[in-house]
Amino acid sequence: MASANEIDIISELQKKPFSVRQSGEQNILVKQRPIPNLQATTGNRSFQESWYSKKDWLCCSSEKNALFCWPCLLFCPGSSSSWTQTGFKNMKNFLSDCKKHEKAKSHMGAYKTWKTYGFQPRIDCLMSQTRREEIQRHNEEVRQNREMLKTITEAVLYLSRQELAFRGHDESSSSMNRGNYRELLESFAKMDSVFERRLHGRLAETHLAGGGRFTGVSPDIQNDLIDCLDKIIEDEILKEIYCCTFLSIQVDEATDVSTKEQLSVIVRMDKGESVIERQLGFVDVSCDRTATAISSVVKGLRDSRPLLLL
């Protein structure tokens, strides 16, 4: 039995459960599994102190003179088991009852919580580290994609400025001439090893393993880039239009190499000291080249561009 001055932790826990205690108190309490020597005998079977080392969850209340389950007392005190309520006293059935209790779902949950108590921040830390590495890999990939996009944009600008065709007749890997766009990118690749690896899809060497990454050579990408650059140039022209004093628009029809009738649209702006001209683009008017149709095209241009104050 416990002496008058000795505090029985298990009795205290039953009065005030672990869950309602302050975190500082919990941190101390969780490590204080009470393992006093128990003088208990049932039939010809007595309590043995070595059971504490064999069953690391086992604890004892001196006051109640009974065995309890320490993790269940801490984290699952509501379970109706004798291991948390009255205490276990039948030494004769100790081993069989222990096995039965160890298989209980509530005990397994409480045992796991007890064993990992205090380690949670370290697990979180480990997860944060993994997440950080994942973000770093992603950022590195974004950085390399942007670098690649810069080079590809330069190729698109160059070919557009020089009015050169992008595509080749034969763009297969065995082709001697894969078209201006691919050949220009191959030339850039000779001077930039990272770009060369990405262009040819050899990403494993750059620790960015995996397929389906951005290489920038598909016809869709080429058209998307041309559209993006076209939009940027048009926005700049519209800014000039917005600031100019006077404006006129010229339209002229011409036939291109594919025999399509194209309407060239040019704006002429008076900027005070000088007069400048900018081409807004070509519009296919093959279907209808009447004055009414051409007039509709011009009005359509105005309606689709709010800054074009015609």
Summarize as ranges the residues that interact with Zn ion (CB under 5 A): 69, 72, 107
Q: How far is CA 12 from the centre of its chain?
A: 48
38: closest CA among 3, 1, 6? 1
With respect to Zn ion, which residue has the nearer C-beta, 72 or 267? 72
The whole-angstrom separation of Cα 43 and Cα 109 is 33
Tokens in use for 155?
Answer: 């190729």
CA distances from 225 to 142, 186, 219, 221, 289 (A): 17, 18, 10, 6, 30
Q: CA 230, 298, 305 angle in degrees (round to 5)?
A: 50
Output the smallest distance, CB 6 to Zn ion, in A: 24
246-255 and 261-270: which strand pairing? antiparallel
The whole-angstrom separation of Cα 80 and Cα 101 is 12
Output the smallest distance, CB 83 to Zn ion, in A: 5
Which helix (H) or strand (E) segment holds residue 250: the answer is: strand 246-255
